[in-house]
Amino acid sequence: MSAPSHDPQPFVSHTDPAALDDLRARLRATQLPDQPEEAGWSLGTDVGYIRELVSYWAEEFDWLGAEKRLNELPRFRVEVGGTGIHFVHARAAGRTGSALPIVLSHGWPDSFWRYSKVIELLIDPGAQGADPADAFDVIVPDMPGFGYSDRLPGAPLDSIAVAGLWAELMTRLGYARFGAAGGDIGSHVSRYLALDHPDRVVAVHRMDAGVPLFTGDVAELTPEERAWIARGASWGQSEGAYAALHRTKPQTAAVGLTDSPAGLAAWIVEKLRAWSDSDGSIENSFTKDEILTNLTIYWLTQTIGSSMRMYSANGAIAPAQLARRVEVPSGFALFPGDILTPPQAWLERTANVVRVSRPARGGHFAPFEEPHLYAEELRAFFRPYR
């Protein structure tokens, strides 16, 4: 990886052939556990699916071809706040200095990969038959500890700190005012951009409202809000073990996941399936090549441990920060396959809501699952703020 610079430097990733040879050798030597008959995905990752995916990863997946396609994006590295940040900076087609800049923040378990399908749709809407006036300058950074950004040697940064880095990055790129959008951890980062830089963020678009947290008198909540918080607690009991481990003991899991590509695949693929609008079949949302592009980025950059540590940092954010209301104009796209869809009353309690949409398809990874729908959402929401 190239050294960070105070000025953005073009970045192209190059994979050492020895690293791919090592990866394939580990995949071919995979030892998988047994699985109860008919268990499927009910106890976690389906071992039969992982066996098939591991074999394809070792024998058929063309990482060099995938890497070449990612390198066709305008990628850069720059030092921000002492940290080397990798980002895509794609300028609006046929525009010079007049398009709205937008910073898109990803979550876990992914990277800039989440937005790789939607970038072209956002910078050149005219090519898809949409209004060319809706074009954006698109900035997609990898968070510290994810993808091709630096892994921090010390304590991980929380979403508040990352929002501060993004504000500095946008200054470095010459953007005084901009839009912000994201989902998952990226929703938190976008929220803090709006909270801490309201003079610069023209509007903020999110795909979720985070994990339910309310420290006041529950009698103040609507029945829908109380039901949503109860669903959140139930989801935490049945589905939240991964987050508890990330928050409390990420290094324990990181040892195995950094050493075993099959283990890494099992840890991530189960979430790709569960959180997408897959109707129970992961192939409905992602091809094997798409999944393995995401996994191979994690494997080659050795960022599974550093990405999980961000949960620990975010778990230490003070409740007073989590309770702040966003006054910047806020929009929400609530995709049907996502986790814990919040009620309207909660959105209005926590943000200055100007638009809520409920697209027909898509889940937690909507920019990748349904890039055309997601692009339409961003165009429609940000149109009044250009």
Task: Write out pLDDT tens, residues 278-334.
Answer: 998 999 999 999 999 999 999 999 999 999 999 999 999 999 999 999 999 999 999
Number of alpha carbons in the 13 Å side-chain half-sphere of residue 102: 29
SS (H, E, C) 239-269: HCHHHHHHHHCHHHHHHHHHHCHHHHHHHHH
Which residue among 246, 311, 338, 374 is the active-site one?
311
Q: Express each pLDDT in 198-228 by its tens digit.
A: 999 999 999 999 877 788 888 899 999 999 9
Give yes or no for residue 5 having a pLDDT over 70: no
What's CA 289's distance to the chain center, in Å? Answer: 18
319-351 CB burial, b ≥16 within 10 A, e <16: eeebeeebebbbbbbbbebbbbebbeebbebbb
Give yes or no for residue 39 having a pLDDT over 80: yes
Q: Residue 351 pairs with which residues in a beta bridge? A: 326
Separation CA 139–CA 109 (nearest Å) = 19
Q: Give the per-residue pLDDT at 4.
A: 45
Is 184 among the catalytic positions?
Answer: yes
Q: Residue 78 pairs with which residues in a beta bridge? A: 85
Separation CA 13–CA 73 (nearest Å) = 11
Give the domain ranges of the chain: 9-385
Beta strands in the chain (DSSP E): 9-10, 75-80, 83-90, 100-105, 136-141, 178-182, 201-206, 326-333, 351-357
Please calculate the CA angle 102-116-306 and round it to the nearest 5 degrees: 90
Q: Enter the pTM of the model.
A: 0.96
Confidence label for 13 from pLDDT (cuts 50, 70 and 90): very high
Separation CA 112–CA 294 (nearest Å) = 9
Across 166-193, average pLDDT = 97
Q: Give the per-residue pLDDT at 97.
A: 67
Give yes or no for residue 368 having a pLDDT over 90: yes
Which residue among 46, 124, 142, 184 is the active-site one?
184
Which residue among 124, 197, 364, 374 is the active-site one?
364
Across 230-244, average pLDDT = 93
At the topology level, CATH places domain 9-385 in Rossmann fold (3.40.50)
Q: Give the per-residue pLDDT at 217.
A: 85
Q: Give the per-residue pLDDT at 2.
A: 46
Is 311 among the catalytic positions?
Answer: yes
Give yes or no for residue 61 having a pLDDT over 80: yes
Across 167-186, average pLDDT = 97
Q: Give the per-residue pLDDT at 317.
A: 95
Q: Are 128 and 118 in contact (CB under 8 A)?
A: no
Number of alpha carbons in the 13 Å side-chain half-sphere of residue 233: 7
